[in-house]
Structure formats: C-alpha cells, structure tokens
Amino acid sequence: MPVSNEQNRNFDLIVIGGGITGAGVARDAALRGLSVLLLEKRDYASGVSSKTTRLVHGGLRYLANFEIDLVAEALRERAILRRQCPYLITPMPILIPIYKHDPHGRAAISVGIHLYELLSREKDIPHYFTAGLEKTLSLESRLNREGLKGSALFYDHQIIMPERLVIENIIAAREAGAVVRSHMSAEKIEETGDGVVVTARDGLSGTTESFRSKVLVNAGGPWVDQVRKAGGIDRVKIINPTKGIHLVLPKLSEQSLFIASKDGRMFFIIPMDQWSLIGTTDTKYDGDLNEVHADSDDVDYLLTESRRVLPGLNLTRESILYTYAGIRPLAFAGEKESKISRKHRVIAEGRAARIITIAGGKYTTYRNMAEDVVDAACSKLGSRVACTTATRPLAGSLPVELAEYLKETVPQLSERYKVSAETVRHLIHYYGARAEKVLEITKEDPRLAEPISLECRDIHAQVLYGVREEGAKTLCDIVLRRMHLGITTRRGEQQIDLIAAFAAKELKWSKEEMKQQVDEFRDELQKEKKF
C-alpha cells in the first residue's frame, strides 16, 4: 500500500473534488501505487452526487439520441457496481406508460427496451416486455386511461443513498494510502517547473495550507471552471450546467414509472422506502452554484405532469415533504437540454499539461471515468500500472452473496450486540461488511444501540461512526449524507439536539458551536422546503 508523506505535503497526484468522480479517481490512483491527496471544499458528496434520482441506471432514454456506446458503457458499469456493492443497489422494475400522442410509440419503445436488454450484462434480471392496456392497468391501476395504449417494462437499479457509494470510495481510497480532506477549498493553483502547488483553506477553521504534486486532477463537477480559474485557466468554459430538481412525497405507488411529459422530456415517479420521488427536470442554469434549489416553475411542471398521468392522487404543493436540486456538469452544449450528451471528456490543460480536467459523465459511469483520468495521469507520470477497480472490492464489499451473508450474519450480530435482527439487516444494507464496526461502537454506551427515530432503523452509534470513520465534521454531514434518517419525512429535525450532543462530545464542540451547528442544520432543511 502506498503511504503519502503528508508532513512534506508532496504527492504524485492532487484531486480537487470529493464527489463520486473525485472519490473514484483517488481510489484508482492509490490502488495503482500513486501518492494521492483529495481536497473537497465542503463535504464528500455534498454537490451533485447527492442530488441524483437515486438510480444506478443504464440510460435507456439515450438510445433515442443514438448514443448506443454511452448506454453500453453505463450498463457495463452498472453490472460492476452491482457485483461490488449489492447491499446498496437493488434491481427495480420500471413501467413506461405509452399514450396516444407520446413522441415514441409502442413499436419504437419495444425496439428500444429489447436493445437495452441485449446490451445489459445482467442476465439474471427478469425479461423486459411491452404490454397492452389490460396488463398495464394490472401493474398500475391508477394510470390515466384517456389515450393509454399500453406500456413497456424494463429494469434499472435503485440506490437509496447515492452518498453512501461516494463514502465507500473515500474509505477505500484512504485505506489504499490516499490522504482525504473535506471542507478544504482550493483557493489558488500555481504551476511550477515540475508540478503544481495548491493553496487550500479549511472552511471550518479558516486556516490555509499548501500542497505540492506532480499532476493535478480537476474533478470539481459543476465547479470545474471555477477550479480552472483558480489555476489561471480562464479560456472558454468547459461546463454547460443544467439544473435538475426532485420532489419527495409520501409514498404514491409501489410501481416505479418512467413518464414522457407533454413536451417530450422524461421523468420518474419511483418508490423510495416509505416515500416517493418525482424527478427530474432539465433546464439551463446560470445562477449561484453554491445555492441551487427548486423554484416554483420546476415544482409546478413536475406536479402538473404527475397529475396528468395519475389524476386520482390529487397531488398538490401541500403533498410535498421537501425538494432538492442539483447541477449536471455537462461537457457538451446543445439547444435542447435533454438532448445534450452525458458523455465525459478528459482534458489535459496548463502550460505543461499537468492539470487534467474531467467534465461531464454520469454517476453510474464514475468508475470508468476515473480510470480514463488516472490513465492520463499515469501517462504524464510515466507509470504503467493498470487499473484494477473493476475487480477490487469496495470498502464494505461482502465475502459471499448478499442473501447468504444476510442469512448467516444477521442472527450472529443480533445475538452478539443485543439488537434486533431488523436493525442488523438495515445496517448491512447501508454499510455492507462494515456494519459490525458500527455495532462495535454500541459497547461504549447502551444508548448508542437505541433507534434514533420511529421513521427509520438508524441507531445513535452511526453518528459516532460517521465522525470517526467517514470524515463527517458537521451535523449536515452526519445526518444528510451518512444516514438514512436524512431522507425521512422530518429528516432528523426532531432528534437533532440529541444527535448534536453525541457529535459535540466526539468533535469537541463548545456549547456555542453545538448551537450553531443545530441552527445551520435547521436552516439547511428550510431551504429545501421553500418553493
């Protein structure tokens, strides 16, 4: 395992950005023997990586743009992810209702889903099919019957908490030797004769530090052009940002739907545990990248289209529990946002091509994107070590099949730590093989084994685990990006004072700091209720 010399602050590679791509780059590079430093200006996965539709999907709709190579890449990567972390990812049947005036008829959609099935490498998933009116209504009886011609059914994969996959990669990178630092913003990037110097500011303490590397990777996502500007690269912008929003409501249906809106755009209505998720939109964005929220037009669009397809549910603004919004860092431009390619680009920049920028891409294809980036870095560094991330386990990877692991492990851990089997099962589905590390913390205080909320099975030990092992430094980090509690109806607002007390002891907050953390947490929740 490579060991980086953090005291000297010299690295082979500095990665700017701690979303899914940056985390994947850090893991890949460290596994190839490079010394790596990752800097994230906020929390890991706090940007676009936590604002997805919570799917690891193959991109069925991109077939309409004839991007067969992109779909094939996404399906290949989806299969790899399912092998590596089946505890996080669950296959999900999705129904496409087909109406008389939809842009794609039943014949065209049938061709598309069968091509999708042929490209898929997961042959254990049930057959994809098209259906007539009667079969369609048996799958979702509340569909609007006016103009309904039939449906198609295909499979994609749900990841309830995409943030967890980012953390899996962060931990795996760290264990391979990488140094990972959150809440560290790269303020200045200077090229030298033989490398790059990065000056970064700690967003919590305000202190600055300088680091040196031979190559720098810009994985800033929507902030790619801001990172380029910090490095004196302010030519033509690379990123063409578009905004996507989501609505979270009480559960509407057990059946996932993929719907064509009147203007031809596609959106999902999918169950998410006890809730439903509606999204996403796709509109050009030129606002503040640090303050991205749903606006009134976005919300009205999704509600109107959802009511059109499911008229009996009486969906109103009052039905919405909260919203969230993110920016797609698209690497290409186009007239119609939904038609812009989601392919990625790797660009060598700077005076000596030591700054490697990754732009575009999809959450699902992050591993392949990281491989392309690290290949480019290794070429510059003169290293010929091959990528192994397709076959190497992630942080919580299981030693056996998920069903077998649950059957053997759940009763053992339930007995050993005196917690319910349901709690153990819940923890395994979010931490994989690391669930026992969470349960080990319960030995310190009986209260740590207690459920936090009636809305989910999270326990207080997860608060301490998030701080000790997963780099959480604020209450928003802990609850919104480490725990299932963060996607429930109240999102931990009722329990935040007790959570803060546990966190304060671990992070050595004063009473004033603890109060500030609680206030900032509640402010963050309120931002996602204003629309």
Which residues are CB-contacts of 510 (< 8 A; sequence separation ≥ 6)? none
What is the rounded distance in angstroms from the CA atom of residue 375 to the CA atom of residue 13?
12
What is the pLDDT, as a whole number, of residue 4? 41
521 inside domain: yes
Which residues are CB-contacts of 349 (< 8 A; sequence separation ≥ 6)? 218, 228, 231, 233, 355, 356, 357
The verdict on 462 and 514 lying in the same domain is yes
Three-class secondary structure of residue 223 per DSSP: helix
103 inside domain: yes
Kindly state the helix (H) or strand (E) to which residue 257 belongs, with its residue range. Answer: strand 256-260
pTM of structure:
0.96
The verdict on 421 and 371 lying in the same domain is no
* Residue indicated by tokens 């380029």: 228
* Residue 195 clears pLDDT 90, i.e. is over it: yes
372 inside domain: yes
The verdict on 177 and 250 lying in the same domain is no
Tell me 387's DSSP state. P
**With pLDDT > 90 as the criterion, what percentage of the chain qualifies?**
90
Report CA-CA distances (Å) from 137 to 57, 93, 202, 379.
Answer: 25, 15, 55, 56
Half-sphere exposure of 151 (CA within 13 A, CB side): 26
426 inside domain: yes
What is the rounded distance in angstroms from the CA atom of residue 270 to the CA atom of residue 94?
8
Which of 242, 255, 316, 318 is CA-nearest to residue 281?
Answer: 242
What is the pLDDT, as a whole number, of residue 7? 52
Domain residues for the domain of 454 are 402-527
* Residue 61 clears pLDDT 60, i.e. is over it: yes
The verdict on 232 and 244 lying in the same domain is no
The verdict on 411 and 506 lying in the same domain is yes
Model pLDDT for residues 107-165, shown as the tens digit of each residue? 889 999 999 999 998 989 988 999 999 999 999 999 999 999 999 999 999 999 999 99
User: Which two three-digit tokens encode residue 458?
Assistant: 């999270």
60 inside domain: no
Predicted confidence band of residue 2 (pLDDT cuts 50, 70, 90):
very low
Q: Is 279 within 8 Å of 267 (Cβ atoms)?
A: yes
Which residues are CB-contacts of 138 (< 8 A; sequence separation ≥ 6)? none
Pairing mode of beta strands 129-131, 89-99:
unpaired
* Residue 454 clears pLDDT 90, i.e. is over it: yes
Q: In CATH, what number is assigned to the domain containing residue 444? A: 1.10.8.870
Q: In CATH, what number is assigned to the domain containing residue 109? A: 3.30.9.10
82 inside domain: no
What is the rounded distance in angstroms from the CA atom of residue 139 to the CA atom of residue 96?
11
Q: Is 255 within 8 Å of 322 (Cβ atoms)?
A: no
Mean pLDDT of the chain: 95
54 inside domain: no
509 inside domain: yes
The verdict on 436 and 456 lying in the same domain is yes
Q: Is 188 within 8 Å of 172 (Cβ atoms)?
A: no
Strands, E, within 219-255: which ranges? 240-250
The verdict on 291 and 407 lying in the same domain is no
Model pLDDT for residues 315-346, shown as the tens digit of each residue? 999 999 999 999 999 998 776 777 788 899 99
Total of domains in the chain: 3
Strands, E, within 438-530: which ranges? none
The verdict on 523 and 455 lying in the same domain is yes
The phi, psi pair for 235, rounded to 5°, reads -75, -150
Kindly state the helix (H) or strand (E) to which residue 377 belongs, with its residue range. Answer: helix 366-381
| Burial label, 444 (beta-carbon count in 10 A; 0-12, 13-18, 19+) | exposed
The verdict on 359 and 504 lying in the same domain is no
